[in-house]
Structure 1
Amino acid sequence: MKSIAIVLAMSMSLIACSKKDDSAAQIAPPATIITVAQAQGRHLEISEQTVGTMEGLIDPNVGAEVAGRVVQVLAHAGQVVKKGQLIAVLDATDYSLQKREAQAEIGRIQALLSNQEKIVDRNQRLVQKNFISRNALDDASSQQDALRQQLEGARAQLAAIEHNNAKTRVVSPIDGQVEKQIASPGNFVKVGDSLFQLIGTQRLRAHLPFPESISAKLHPGQTVRLSTPTAPDKTFTTTIREIKPLIGNSNRAADVIADVVDQAGWQAGASVNGVVVLGEHAQAVVVPEASVVLRPAGEVVYLIKDRTALQRIVKTGLRQEGMVEIVEGLAAGETVAVDGAAFLTDKAAVKTQAAAQ
């Protein structure tokens, strides 16, 4: 009987231990599902960003060079034009008539000159035979020279008429945009009357305002990257040309000036986004922003080793494009938790899965 009691006691003890193990298994928290990433070494720029405006450096006022009635207007406000493009036509009837008159005068003088040349040639032969005096030959030669001068004058007059006739076709002097159409078909314009106001796009100037706290870090020659909504797929890299103070009642801002040359699609008056590069961090260690978690000890990341999260206190630096620079506490190549990091504690069990694309 004593043996039976001992066996029963041992059985009860084993059953109790099994229940305790089952309870412990049920109490242990499940592994946290996370995504992971490796800390990367990357080149980071120290930069400041602002939004400014574009100014046109070339904005000619296109005026009439000859008097006449406007027959056609081929460009309108907001239209982009190329250098040499026809933008207006003036009535050229008067110049066509003047040209015909000048051509007829040239023909008349050429006929007289041709006859006079024959007279001079004949008088030269008669002088050689002493049939006429030398004075008669000199008089014929003088008349020949006068006709030649008249012919040159008539040709010059024709060239002037043709030149003025060409001015009835008004062309754009630059690549740019029509800011204002002044003349309309039917208007009579005099020499110098305005027809169009253009804004050039070949040479533009970006004005970028920066606050007083940043202006001390800026100087001519620094690299600046510019982009504008009118050319959304292009970024133009240039340098700071000049810095001017913008002194107001409540600030001491700086106007940072940079030139933009020969960039298709860029327009005066448009907004411009400017990024000035102040410096760089070579081979900075970076992790995704979601990896850095705020805890009572400070900013931490969780290193993942052997399916376990190990808390690591870090010091952060720059934040760019969803990445955070780790100045202290982490080396490139180490694996850290990303999605789910905020739910981790030190030495917590984890289960990794592929990151969402």
Structure 2
Amino acid sequence: MRRLPLSLPALALAAGLLVAGCGDGAPPETDADPVGQPPSLQRASGPAVVTLSDVQAAELSVETAEVQASGATVEVGMPGVAEPSPDDFAAVSAPVSGRVVRVLAHEGEAVRRGQTVAVLQSMETASLSASARQASAEAAQAEAGVAQAQAEVALQRQQVERYTQLVAERISPRMRLDQARADLGRAQAQLRAAQAAVAAAQARVTGSRDQLAAAGGGGRGGTVAVVAPRGGVIDRHTVDLGGSVMAYDEMMTIVGQGEVMVRGQATPDQAARVRAGDGVSVRSASDPGVAVASRVASVAPAASSSDRSVAVYVRVPAGRGIRPGQSVRLSVVARAEAGGVSVPLAAVSYDGDRATVFVQTGPRAFEQRPVELGAPGEEAVPVLSGLAVGDRVAVTNVFDLKALARFEAYGEE
């Protein structure tokens, strides 16, 4: 391999002259050779080795790092977004169809469970209220009938007792006693019928009241109070004052002040390394100084059909600076493959779609070696093939080494 004693400025000038020289004149005629890549992009038949001159070595001062075993874990980085926790989120729905006549809680305001947040006016509720009132009136009337029937039974029982004594003393004929007993039987039957009417009326009252309660109760003019199903902060409104809603329509949402669910977006290769229970650091994208330590709650079983990412879910406690809607960055401490090695991200460059590193083979010699990479972490990337523990790779001025390697391959054409 030829050593290049050129300094960096001379190298740039020589490269420019060679490119200019290749651009002048007519191209040589060929019979059947196809047009290939420029010589600077063609791969050499053997490994590309850059040997620096004393001047180049002094100017570049290339720093190297030793290839390390991956160890038990590897750091996997991915973007993400914070969302309300499913356990800390609730929708406020309309209990009945109606018109919004009052809005008592607005976006950003805190509410407690059971607090009235809106009022509806509903014809359905007005009808239910009327039914409840009618059922109550019928129940009262039935109860009055029971009281009257009980008084009649008491009267007829006295008549039976009186005629029983008169018949025993031979003062009154037996037919009068039989008549009194028949009247008592009819009074008792009327009492049972009145008691059954009371039970039926009370059942109607209970049913009407249950329906009215399910519809949110009833005020004057058929108004219905809409209450918060949980405490928290109003996140958004979906209705306006004077607007109409159908039963079970969403009116607003409430976000609690508890934990936040972070959804990371991992590549399929990254997701294959991540497991539930892995440690993770969550950082705010806008303020990297805000970092929260947690653990992976779950990993989606399949990739999204829209962007092919795999969701990684992390629960973050409240009050740690991570709020729903924020963009975040996740660093998952995942288990590494046994026997693997890793290099700093700064050591990797790309020749087309081929990842390469510059391995130091001598005091001033570097071999450009293709490698197969795994899922990158925040600062390092696993190397699946091409390197061994103990190799030293360039981690500074890698672009300059790449330019020298191309120039050397170009000069040999």
Distance 1:154 1:262 in 2: 52
What CA deviation, in whole Å up to 9, does each residue of 1:123-151 have, x standing for no partner? 23433454444443333223223322332
The correspondence of residues 104-123 of structure 1 with structure 2, limited to 5 A, is 104-123=137-156
The offset of 1:268, in angstroms, is 4.4
What CA deviation, in whole Å up to 9, does each residue of 1:85-126 have, x standing for no partner? 321122488366655544444333322222211212232343
Contact 1:54 1:206 (8 Å CA) reproduced: yes
The correspondence of residues 169-184 of structure 1 with structure 2, limited to 5 A, is 169-175=225-231, 177-184=233-240
User: Residues 193 and 217 of structure 1: is their aligned pair in 2 closer, same or farther, counting only changes over 3 Å?
Assistant: closer
Contact 2:299 2:310 (8 Å CA) reproduced: no
The offset of 1:49, in angstroms, is 4.2
Match of 2:106 in 1: 76
The offset of 1:181, in angstroms, is 2.3
Match of 1:85 in 2: 115
Distance 1:46 1:89 in 2: 55
Distance 1:66 1:253 in 2: 41
User: Residues 237 and 96 of structure 1: is their aligned pair in 2 closer, same or farther, counting only changes over 3 Å?
Assistant: same
The correspondence of residues 136-215 of structure 1 with structure 2, limited to 5 A, is 136-163=183-210, 164=212, 166-167=216-217, 168-175=224-231, 177-197=233-253, 205-211=261-267, 214-215=270-271
Percent sequence identity over aligned pairs: 24
1:53 to 78, 81, 85: 81
Higher helix share: 2
User: Residues 215 and 104 of structure 1: is their aligned pair in 2 closer, same or farther, counting only changes over 3 Å?
Assistant: closer
Contact 1:241 1:259 (8 Å CA) reproduced: no
What amino acid is the match of 1:239? Answer: V
Q: Is 1:239 aligned with 2:239?
A: no
SS in 2 for 1:75: coil
Distance 2:134 2:322 in 1: 49
Contact 2:79 2:266 (8 Å CA) reproduced: no
Distance 2:99 2:296 in 1: 48
The correspondence of residues 1-357 of structure 1 with structure 2, limited to 5 A, is 47-56=75-84, 57=86, 61-91=91-121, 94=126, 99-129=132-162, 130=164, 131=177, 132-163=179-210, 164=212, 166-167=216-217, 168-175=224-231, 177-197=233-253, 205-211=261-267, 214-226=270-282, 235=292, 237-244=294-301, 246=303, 254-259=310-315, 268-278=324-334
The offset of 1:52, in angstroms, is 0.7
Distance 1:192 1:215 in 2: 38
What amino acid is the match of 2:299? Answer: E
Normalised to the residue count of structure 1, the TM-score between the two structures is 0.51
RMSD of aligned alpha carbons = 4.7
User: Residues 254 and 67 of structure 1: is their aligned pair in 2 closer, same or farther, counting only changes over 3 Å?
Assistant: closer
What CA deviation, in whole Å up to 9, does each residue of 1:18-54 have, x standing for no partner? xxxxxxxxxxxxxxxxxxxxxxxxxxx9644443123
User: Residues 82 and 279 of structure 1: is their aligned pair in 2 closer, same or farther, counting only changes over 3 Å?
Assistant: farther
Distance 1:193 1:207 in 2: 28
Match of 1:4 in 2: none
120-129 vs 58-67, which moves further: 58-67
SS in 2 for 1:136: helix
Distance 1:264 1:172 in 2: 26
The offset of 1:55, in angstroms, is 4.0
What amino acid is the match of 2:312? Answer: V
What amino acid is the match of 1:84? Answer: G
User: Residues 180 and 222 of structure 1: is their aligned pair in 2 closer, same or farther, counting only changes over 3 Å?
Assistant: same
Contact 2:79 2:328 (8 Å CA) reproduced: yes
Distance 1:236 1:197 in 2: 28
Distance 2:285 2:182 in 1: 83
The offset of 1:190, in angstroms, is 4.5
Distance 1:150 1:175 in 2: 44
Distance 1:79 1:194 in 2: 18
Segments of 5+ residues of structure 1 without an aligned counterpart are 1-44, 281-296, 298-317, 320-357
Distance 1:145 1:264 in 2: 69
Distance 1:171 1:265 in 2: 30
SS in 1 for 2:277: coil
User: Residues 184 and 146 of structure 1: is their aligned pair in 2 closer, same or farther, counting only changes over 3 Å?
Assistant: farther
Contact 1:70 1:188 (8 Å CA) reproduced: yes
Contact 2:263 2:311 (8 Å CA) reproduced: yes
Distance 2:81 2:138 in 1: 58
SS in 1 for 2:198: helix
Match of 2:12 in 1: none
SS in 1 for 2:273: coil
